[in-house]
């Protein structure tokens, strides 16, 4: 299935998967931590929802910002961030 992909693509896909796993794992651990500190379910939910929404907004802004770059620099700029 992945025989024709370049090594760089495989490395990027693997790093993206590891990053997603780590982010999800840390979010779950943070929710448990806040719960053990005595925060209620609504507060924990609001904190995590705000974190996810902030990440989505920053991703959208990054896409808008890099869309104005020439194509030769666009990929390099996204990968460096």
Res 75: pLDDT: 61
**HSE-CB of 1 using CA atoms within 13 angstroms:** 1
Distance CA 47, CA 54 (A): 11
Percent of the chain with pLDDT over 70: 78
Q: Give pTM, 2 decimals.
A: 0.63
Residue 43: inside a domain: yes
| Residue 40 lies in domain | 7-80
Number of domains comprising the chain:
1
Mean pLDDT of 40-48: 94
6-30 pLDDT, tens digit per residue, is 777 778 888 889 988 998 899 999 9
Decide if 39 is inside a domain: yes
Q: Which two tokens stand for residue 45?
A: 């939910």
The pLDDT, as a whole number, for residue 80 is: 53
pLDDT of amino acid 1: 57
């Amino acid at each position: 299935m992945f025989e024709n992909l370049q090594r760089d693509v495989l490395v990027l896909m693997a790093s993206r998967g590891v990053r997603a796993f780590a982010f999800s794992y840390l979010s779950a651990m943070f929710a448990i931590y806040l719960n053990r500190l005595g925060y209620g379910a609504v507060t924990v939910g609001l904190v995590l929802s705000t974190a996810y929404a902030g990440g989505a907004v920053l991703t959208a802004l990054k896409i808008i910002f890099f869309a104005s770059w020439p194509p030769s620099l666009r990929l390099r700029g996204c990968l460096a961030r």
